Structure 1
Amino acid sequence: MAFAEKYINPFTDFGFKKLFGSEPNKELLIDFLNQVVLPEQHRITELSYTRNEHLGAKELDRKAIFDLYCIGKNGERFIVEMQKAKQNYFKDRSVFYASFPIQEQAKRGEWDFQLTEIYTVGVLDFVFSEDAHEKEVRHEVKLKDQNGRVFYKKLTFVYLEMPHFTKTEEELETTYDKWLYVLKHLPYLDSKPKALQEKVFDQLFAVAEIAKFTPDEMNAYEQSLKYYRDLKNVIDTAIMEGETKGRMEGRLEGEMKGRIEGRLEAITESIIKALSRGKLTVEEIAEDFGVSVDFVLQIKEEQRP
């Protein structure tokens, strides 16, 4: 397949993991965390990737799959996720995911319950309903008391609402600005912008160039991109139809998105169960649920350990 874009879309599963999820490219993730997430006094110089799959009480229903899960040199835990579309109970899910790095620090025998810092980072391709009229990009959340004082400083949630980032290349001032700019605009660029002079961006653009992919990487990216576009098309179509009927103004737009995304999530979960039973072929599953074979194959690929 010939791609119109020169660089990958980081909001695809393949694109995000290509940039940030492999050992050769972990310097990109380290710089991203240092510049965008962590306070200056907590900067990291090393991290290691670990398994990104944790099982809850029910293997299928409570399977929590993070985009990336890694541990810093001093034991800090990082959950880093690219979120393509809004989901019901997104904040509940973030808290649920954060519970796994807490539980896994438990030690057998004598233990004083001391924990290391945990950061849950969400790079969001949407805005929260309550923030629709705000223009704040970065949200940092900690556990606080009724007077606004931090009660517990080792659990931090950082959300980046990318639609609110509107700076142009000429307005980029900090490395933080540049990271957000490149994540939002990467698939629409023809070359590395002059404003991005830091060496880390030289590496990022080299890694992101589609023409350098192997045939297997090309195929994997094609499937991942199709999944991403299918999801976006479902949401965009629902919005357009709702607007035509005059029912998609303001708050109703978010409600319609939630219903469509909830239905897509339910279909995805049903496909996962069908795949786990192993009684039907991929083609039969696609026909049963009214989706493309590529859609089922993408889900199947994402379930592999």
Structure 2
Amino acid sequence: MGRFINPFTDVGFKRIFGQSVHKDLLIDFLNNLLEGEKQIKDISFLDKELLPEFQGDRGTIYDIYCTTESGEEFIVEMQNCEQAYIRERAIYYLCRAMSRQGERGANWKFNLKAVYGIFFLNFEMKDSEGNFRTDVVLSDRDTHVPFSDKLRFVFLQLPCFKKEESECENDFERWIYVLKNMETLQRLPFKARKSVFEKLEQIVDIASLSKEERMKYDESIKVYRDQLATLDFAEQKGRAEGFVEGTLDVARRMKAMLIPVETISLATGLSLDEIAGL
């Protein structure tokens, strides 16, 4: 095991971004993510139970829910494994957070606060064209003029971030580099450049964990690895089944062309009895 925690585990991710005592880390990350757009000065963590949990998400999806001093809401998620409806899931959670702002009575005038979804993805989305960062906003289809700033989706595909330490051009890229490589590093870079990285190093050092924290972290590592192993097995099994079906299809086609079964057997590796049964 390396010197620093794995930020892709539940305990690791929430230790970095989900603790009120260290909320300056999340504030700094969000400000760098939205540099030039807004400057967050304070956040408050909201009740996690406001976001429903699904059993299938355990070990692969971790979320943090907070609000800024101006009332804007942020849902920050780490997702480790690809889902068929990842975009729909993001829309659902942000719209659900938006709908909770509604108030009973005729005096409420739909004065909604913006809801942001920040999604760390430890995989590549389908049809994403390999872009590290995808920003989704509400705008006119043809003119691209903004329609509303109340919903914002930011997807960060970590495998698509290829920069090395010396190539990082700003603090946002430095954050991503550190998060992506944390478990393999022996020191955290950029400490001399910005104090937040020095504080981050102290928080993520495994040696700084208490006995109870270490037990929780070890369990989260186990859940994380078990889940990834299960998904990897399913993927390999699917490829193997696809290969077998492809071989059978080729054999059927060759058989339909009246190619001798001995030749089909040599070409596909199927036995004569298997070919006869097609």
Query: Taking structure 2 as the reference length, what is the TM-score of the superposition?
Result: 0.79
Look up the match of 1:86: 82
- 1:147-186 matches, within 5 Å, as 147=142, 148-186=144-182
Per the alignment, do residues 60 and 180 of structure 1 end up closer, same or farther by CA in structure 2, a change over 3 Å counting? Answer: closer
Residues 61-115 of structure 1 show CA distances to partners (whole Å, capped at 9, x for unaligned) of 9x9x961000000001000001111112111111111123212212232111011
- 1:223-242 matches, within 5 Å, as 223-242=219-238
Residues 137-196 of structure 1 show CA distances to partners (whole Å, capped at 9, x for unaligned) of 111001223313322221100000000001011211210110110110001101122576
Look up the match of 2:254: none
The separation in 1 between residues aligned to 2:216 and 2:50, in whole angstroms, is 24
Residues 43-70 of structure 1 show CA distances to partners (whole Å, capped at 9, x for unaligned) of 10101001022377xx979x9x961000
Residues 30-54 of structure 1 show CA distances to partners (whole Å, capped at 9, x for unaligned) of 0111112x24231101010010223
Look up the match of 1:139: 134
Work out which of the residue numbers 95, 109, 115 in structure 2 matches 1:118.
115
Deviation, structure 1 residue 129: 1.1
Q: Is the 8 A contact 1:66 1:79 kept in 2?
A: no
Is structure 2 residue 44 aligned with structure 1 residue 53? no
Per the alignment, do residues 247 and 72 of structure 1 end up closer, same or farther by CA in structure 2, a change over 3 Å counting? Answer: farther
The separation in 2 between residues aligned to 1:120 and 1:77, in whole angstroms, is 9
Look up the match of 1:272: none
Deviation, structure 1 residue 208: 0.2
Q: Is the 8 A contact 1:172 1:178 kept in 2?
A: yes
The separation in 2 between residues aligned to 1:90 and 1:235, in whole angstroms, is 16
Look up the match of 1:7: 4
The separation in 1 between residues aligned to 2:215 and 2:115, in whole angstroms, is 35
Query: Taking structure 1 as the reference length, what is the TM-score of the superposition?
Result: 0.73
- 1:249-260 matches, within 5 Å, as none
Secondary structure of the residue that 1:53 maps to in structure 2? helix
Counterpart residue type for residue 139 of structure 1: T
Secondary structure of the residue that 1:179 maps to in structure 2? helix
Secondary structure of the residue that 2:127 maps to in structure 1? helix
Per the alignment, do residues 155 and 196 of structure 1 end up closer, same or farther by CA in structure 2, a change over 3 Å counting? Answer: farther
Q: Is the 8 A contact 2:174 2:190 kept in 1?
A: no
Per the alignment, do residues 9 and 55 of structure 1 end up closer, same or farther by CA in structure 2, a change over 3 Å counting? Answer: closer
Runs of 4 or more above 3 Å deviation: 238-248
Q: Is the 8 A contact 1:54 1:100 kept in 2?
A: no
Q: Is the 8 A contact 1:169 1:195 kept in 2?
A: no
The separation in 2 between residues aligned to 1:81 and 1:202, in whole angstroms, is 24
Look up the match of 1:215: 211
Look up the match of 2:103: 107
Deviation, structure 1 residue 240: 3.9
Unaligned runs of 5+ in 2: 245-278
Look up the match of 1:33: 30
Work out which of the residue numbers 43, 64, 70 in structure 2 matches 1:68.
64
Deviation, structure 1 residue 9: 0.7
Q: Is the 8 A contact 1:172 1:195 kept in 2?
A: no
The separation in 1 between residues aligned to 2:85 and 2:235, in whole angstroms, is 20
| Pairwise CA RMSD | 2.6
Unaligned runs of 5+ in 1: 249-305
Deviation, structure 1 residue 237: 2.8
